[in-house]
Structure 1
Amino acid sequence: MTIDLKLTGGTVLTPAGSINADVLVDGGKIVGLVDGSLPVDAGRVVDAAGKVVLPGMVDVHVHTREPGFEHKEDIETTSRQAAVGGVTTIFGMPNLSPPTNDVETLTDVFERYSRTSIVDYNHNPAPTKYGEIQAMSDMGVQAYKIYMVVDTGRTYPHPAGTGMHDHGELLRMMDLIAKTGKRFIIHPHDQALMDYIEGEYLARGDNTPKGYASAYAARSGVIWDTAIDVVLRLAEASGCPVHIAHMQTKRSIEAVRRAKAAGIDVTCEVNHWAPFLSTWEDVERLGPYALSYWVPDEGRNAVWEGMVDGTIDICSSDHAPHTRQEKEVGWTEMWSCHTGTPGIQYYYPLLLDAVNQGKISLDRVVSLVATRPAEEFGLWGTKGAIQVGADADLVVADMKSKWTIADEGVLSRCGWTPYDGRSITANIDRTFVRGEEVFGDGQVIGKPGHGRLATANA
């Protein structure tokens, strides 16, 4: 008998730890982890000697921009970046046009993924149409997403139909989502406090990147902390599994740590910009191209601590591309600028570089990008781990590969990265989705339409 694929000679990261083994793949599944001395006939043999074999990243927070904003990005270009970055499953976000918040719009989005995505996928619709929540769950979604925010001075990236900050309505959403058993992703934000704080900055004419950065981090991140306190209490009251996006303050990380200890079903994530792109120096140098948000040193230190000790469950990219034209306005009118930064192509390599720097262990990185998202978003057993019976979503990474990130290598339609010029020491060599190589030898070789819907029943 001949199997399809054998990855040989690498150090393999499994749920039981690192082992030296050959990974055997047949029919898109992992069928064996065996000693390299065992003779196995394979249609293709990939030499991973001197490298690590990792599970593909399950990125549950990705803005594909399709439909409605394809001038920024689309599903195919997003999935190309995913392949290069070692991401084998993406979960899209609902802030589209039209917003994804019912069966009709979700059907359209799923059809778009099936035609053009290179990697596997799911989508997080907004639960703003209450009668549609159960029906969308029945279609295979693994989570829902809401923004507790109304944009000031712009209509994007948080368009109508995707937001809710009324606490009573949030509790109603949680009650309905709890019945599905799916997780509720929440972008935390205290709108009333933000209106007041933003108003102070705008009243004195400080519509700059520094002003914007300072406003969102004002008073030790009060707009984040109060919102997260509300979310945690409502999660306790409803029994709804919640997932908090954009963790960035010391107090909110401590609050989540206490909530977990109290038995509240809460998970949380850190996006690429918090550990790698959130210093004041970044704000001064890159202005709108660094925002997302400024994270003061106390918050960044707490983020790294939470990533290491497990309080923070998941690293997801919050890949959020915008054109240079949409960013340039931010130098003088930051509140009119589309905030967010592209990140899916480089997050996994940046984390592997952090391993080399001694900031975090490789086991923890694998947990953050693969194991925990698969466990908490209903994909465990098929995604998130190198184990027999799981999908062969595999990454071969070179931990001794010094290179420099550059705009010239960006596959995003936006054509830029905030990491331009940053040198790192680890790289993705090859990416496989269900045993099919989608990236290798420096080229995306996966075909649009290879991706499949990733669900608990897949």
Structure 2
Amino acid sequence: MTIDLRIAGGVVVTPSGPTTADLLVDDGRIAGLVAPGVAVDAARTIDATGRLVLPGMVDAHVHTREPGYEHKDDILTTTRQAAAGGVTTIFGMPNLNPPTVDVETLTDVFERYASTSIVDWNHNPAPTKFDDIVPMAEMGINAYKIYMVVDTGRTYPHPAGTGIHDHGHLLQIMDRIAGTGKRFIVHPHDQALMDYIEGEVLARGENTPQGYASAYAAREGVIWDTAIDVILRLAEASGCPVHIAHIQTRRSIEAVRRAKAAGIDVTCEVNHWAPFLSTWKDVETLGPYALSYWVPDDNRAAIWEGMRDGTIDIASSDHAPHTREEKEIGWTEMWSAHTGTPGIQYYYELMLDAVNRGELTLDRAVDMVARIPAEKFGLAGTKGTLEVGADADIVIADMQHEWTITNDDVLSKIGWTPYDGRTISTRIERTLVRGRDVYADGAVVGEPGYGKLAAAPADISAETAGTEGN
């Protein structure tokens, strides 16, 4: 019998840790690991000598911008970046035009992915229409997403239909989601506090990157901390599994740590900008191109601690591309600029570079980008792991390859990265999705439409789904 592929000579990062072995792939899945030199009849062999063989990244927080904002990026260009960055599964976000809030809009988005995505995919719709929550779960989604925010001075990137601020409404939706078995992703934000804080900053005429950065980090991050306290308490009250986006303050990390110890089903994520960008120097030199948010040094230290000890479960890119024109206005009118930064193309490599610098262990980095997001979003044993039976979503990386990120390498339509000029020590050389190359030899080789829906098994209780909060 001949298998499809042998990846030979590398160090394979398995759930039990790194091991020197050859990885066997057949029919799109991991077929086994064998000692180097063991005879196996393979149709194709990839030489991974001196390289790490890793599971592909499962990125649960990606803004593809399609439909509605394709001038920034689209599903094809986003998944080209994913392939180059070792990301083999993406979950899209609902802040589109029209926003993904019901069966009709979710069906349209699914059809778009199926037509053009290079990597495997899913999508996180907003559960703002009660009657569509359960039907969308039955379509194969793995999570829902809402924003506890209304933009000041603009209608994007948080359009109407994707936001919930009233606590009673949040609890109603959590009750409904709890019966589906899906996870509820929440962008935390205390709108009333932010209105007051922003109002003070703008009244002083500080409509600048520095003013914006200071406002969102004001009073040690009070807008984040109070919102996350509410989310955790409502999760406990409803039994709804929650996932907190954009974790970035010391108090929030401590609150999540306590909630986990109390048995609350909560996960949280760190986005690329929190550990690797958004210092005050970045705000001053890159201005709107660095925002997302400013992360003060004491909060950044707490983030690294939470990444190391497992309080912060997951690394998700929050890939959020905007054009230069949409950013440039921010130098003088930051509240009119589109906030968010592109991140999917380089996050895995930045995490591996952090391993080389001794800031994370290799096992911890791989857990954060692959194993844990797959496990917590319903894909355990299928995605995020190099074990027999799992999809052959594989990354081959050179951990001793120093190179400099430049705008010339960017595969996004926007043509820029906040990491332009940064030198790192690792390079992803090859990405495979279900055993097929999608990135190799410095080029994206995946075919549009190759990606498929990465759906969790159906787990909906007819007795509980949709009966609470009516």
Match of 2:3 in 1: 3
Match of 2:55 in 1: 55
Kept after mapping to 1: 8 A contact 2:141/2:456: no
Distance 1:126 1:43 in 2: 45
3-state DSSP class of the match of 1:152?
coil
Question: One-letter code of the match for 1:412?
Answer: S
Question: One-letter code of the match for 1:120?
Answer: D
Q: How many residues align?
A: 458
Distance 2:362 2:412 in 1: 27
Distance 1:415 1:197 in 2: 34
Distance 1:186 1:104 in 2: 22
Distance 1:23 1:246 in 2: 35
Match of 1:263 in 2: 263
Question: One-letter code of the match for 1:274?
Answer: A
Mapping of 1:311-350 within 5 angstroms? 311-350=311-350
3-state DSSP class of the match of 2:192?
helix
User: Under a length normalisation based on structure 1, what TM-score does the superposition of the two structures give?
Assistant: 1.00
3-state DSSP class of the match of 1:359?
coil
Match of 1:15 in 2: 15
3-state DSSP class of the match of 1:30?
strand
Distance 2:323 2:283 in 1: 18
Match of 2:467 in 1: none
Match of 2:230 in 1: 230
Match of 1:276 in 2: 276
Mapping of 1:403-422 within 5 angstroms? 403-422=403-422
Distance 1:171 1:207 in 2: 35
Question: One-letter code of the match for 1:106?
Answer: L
Match of 1:100 in 2: 100
Q: Measure how far apart 1:177 and its partner are.
A: 0.4
Q: Measure how far apart 1:36 and its partner are.
A: 1.1
Distance 2:456 2:109 in 1: 19
Q: Measure how far apart 1:405 and its partner are.
A: 0.2
User: Under a length normalisation based on structure 2, what TM-score does the superposition of the two structures give?
Assistant: 0.97
- Is 2:188 the partner of 1:195? no
Distance 2:180 2:84 in 1: 34
Q: Measure how far apart 1:41 and its partner are.
A: 1.3
Kept after mapping to 1: 8 A contact 2:291/2:340: yes
Match of 1:35 in 2: 35
Match of 1:124 in 2: 124
Question: One-letter code of the match for 1:193?
Answer: L
Q: Deviations over 1:148-188 (max 9, x none)?
A: 00000000000000001110000011000001010000000
Q: Deviations over 1:101-138 (max 9, x none)?
A: 00000000000000000000000000000100000000
Q: Measure how far apart 1:42 and its partner are.
A: 1.1
Mapping of 1:340-419 within 5 angstroms? 340-419=340-419
Mapping of 1:175-214 within 5 angstroms? 175-214=175-214
Moved over 3 A (4+): none
Distance 1:232 1:450 in 2: 38
Match of 2:76 in 1: 76
Identity %: 75
Distance 2:148 2:427 in 1: 36
Match of 2:154 in 1: 154
- Is 2:115 the partner of 1:115? yes
Match of 1:45 in 2: 45
Question: One-letter code of the match for 2:230?
Answer: V
Q: Measure how far apart 1:44 and its partner are.
A: 1.0
Q: Measure how far apart 1:381 and its partner are.
A: 1.0
Distance 1:8 1:37 in 2: 9
Match of 1:166 in 2: 166
Q: Measure how far apart 1:457 and its partner are.
A: 3.7
Match of 2:463 in 1: none
Q: Measure how far apart 1:37 and its partner are.
A: 1.8
C-alpha RMSD of matched pairs (Å): 0.6
Which segments of 5 or more consecutive residues in structure 2 lack a partner in the other structure? 459-470
Distance 2:225 2:457 in 1: 36
Q: Measure how far apart 1:2 and its partner are.
A: 1.0
Q: Deviations over 1:365-422 (max 9, x none)?
A: 0000001000000000110100000000000000000000000000001110000000
Match of 2:301 in 1: 301
Q: Deviations over 1:284-306 (max 9, x none)?
A: 00000000000000110000000
Question: One-letter code of the match for 2:41?
Answer: D
3-state DSSP class of the match of 1:180?
coil
Kept after mapping to 1: 8 A contact 2:379/2:456: yes
3-state DSSP class of the match of 1:3?
coil
Q: Measure how far apart 1:43 and its partner are.
A: 1.2
Match of 2:449 in 1: 449
Distance 2:191 2:417 in 1: 30
Q: Deviations over 1:36-59 (max 9, x none)?
A: 121111111001110100000000
Question: One-letter code of the match for 2:118?
Answer: I
Q: Deviations over 1:212-239 (max 9, x none)?
A: 0000000000000000000000000000
Distance 1:194 1:356 in 2: 39
